[in-house]
Each structure stands twice: as C-alpha cells, then as structure tokens.
Amino acid sequence: MKKTILLAGCFLLISAIASAETEYQKLKMKVSQEVYNKIANTIKDTRKQPTFNFLYNDPSPYYNAYYDPENNTINLGEGIYDLAKTFGKDSINALAMVLGHELAHFYKDHGWGYSFGDANEYLKISQKIYKLQLDPTRKAEMETEADYFGGIFGYMAGYNSLGVGAEFFDKFYKAAKVPDVTTGYPTRQERMKICDNSISLLNKLIPLFDAANYLVLLGEYEKAANLYDNIIVTFPSREIYNN
C-alpha cells in the first residue's frame, strides 16, 4: 500500500512540473515518444506496449531511464535526452539505444517476477521468486540481456543504436557519476563490449536473414526455414518464429 501511494504521489508531482514545461521540453518529449513508438512497433509484439513517460529535470539533470513493471511504464529522464543530444547527428541513435534497452526489459519479461510477487505476496513461492529478481547476479543477467537485445531492437527500427552504444555508456557513467563496477549491473567496460560484440553478430546474421527472405519469395520454404532456424538459436524473436 505504501508503495502505491508513493507512486501516485510521483505522478502528481510530474503533472505539476508538466504544467510549467517549456516548448523545448515539449519537443524533447515528442521526439522521445516518436522514437519509442517506432521501436515498439518494429518489434511486432501483440502485447500492449508500456505507457511512455518523460521525466523532466528538477532542476538538476535526471540521468535515469527505467521500466516499471508494477504500473507497466517506461520512463525516460530529461538528463538522458540531453546526454544523447551531445552526439550531434547520432543523437537519435543514442536515444534509441536507451529506449531499446528499456523496451527489452518488457519484451523479455524481466518484470514478471515482480508482478507475480505483488499479486501473490502471501504465497511462499512468490516471495522466493520476488527475492530472486532482486538477486544481484540475476539483475546483472537481465541488464546484460537488455543491453544485447535493446541494441538490436533499435537497429531493427532503423537506428544505428549499436554504433553509438559503447560511447554512450562511456559518457553516461561519467556524467551520472556511476561507478564502473555497480552491483546488479555489468561493468562499464562489459556494457561497451556488448555493443561492439552485437555489431559483429549482426554482420553475421543479416546476410542469413536477407537470404532467407529471398528464398521465401522464390518459394523455397524449407531452405528458408533452415536459415531462420539458424538465426533463432542466436536471436529468438517473434518475427523470426513467425517467418
């Protein structure tokens, strides 16, 4: 109950801040929402995407972005947007990398343990599952998966999210003054390496994906299916399964 009241209070605070927002802040929110929608629509998942919230600096930069499974929202701090702007022509790509990461938390079901625990709080098994979600090792696994799939989701939507990912993490850790080694997260160097490795992976998968699509057009369905099966081992997604 206390947690719900606090969340409601946060929303009231956000509404009060929103009434005093500038035209430039409205533009920031509009651009962020457009990038968010494009990535979510590209993933082609039948589940209703989380509600998007843009959280304004108050007044210091709010360097945070997070998925909240309790109220099914994805929240982006204005500080993250401003940091992405420092990338110039790649600013939208940097923004897509962050939003792809948060959407990956939702689409890879990282919040189900919290939701199950809250809905069944008096069951022993739900308490164990809830605690498991809070385990630093498990959290690090989920963050790693979100880095990996988030970058690829952004790429699928047409953004060079992986190309700027390593540099973004480097800048983010410095701007937000986050320790290189943080409990429950991959290290800064590991997160940068994930982006670089994902680029190498995509360079291998894209020719297979393109070849499979051409085989479908030619009616060579069995050969195409074999290629899709090969891709699924590395990158399981609803679109590949559907094909």
Query: What string of pLDDT tens digits covers the 243 residues of the chain?
Result: 223 222 333 333 333 344 457 899 999 999 999 999 999 998 877 888 999 999 999 888 999 999 988 888 999 999 999 999 999 999 999 999 999 999 999 988 776 655 655 656 666 666 666 666 666 777 778 888 888 888 888 888 889 888 898 899 999 999 989 898 888 788 888 888 888 887 787 778 778 888 988 998 999 999 988 888 888 776 666 666 566
First to last CA, the chain: 45
Helices (H) and strands (E) in the chain, counts: 11, 3
Q: Which residues pair with 66 in a beta bridge?
A: 75
Angle, helices 188-217 vs 136-156, to 10°: value is 40
Return d(Cα 206, Cα 91) in angstroms, integer: 24
HSE-up of residue 63 (Cα within 13 Å, Cβ side)? 13
pTM for this entry: 0.74
At 148, the amino acid letter reads: Y
H or E element that contains 76: strand 73-77
Return d(Cα 238, Cα 80) in angstroms, integer: 29
Q: Cα-Cα-Cα-Cα dihedral of 90, 22, 62, 54, to 10°?
A: -80
The answer to whether 162 and 199 are in contact (CB under 8 A) is yes
Q: Which residues pair with 98 in a beta bridge?
A: none
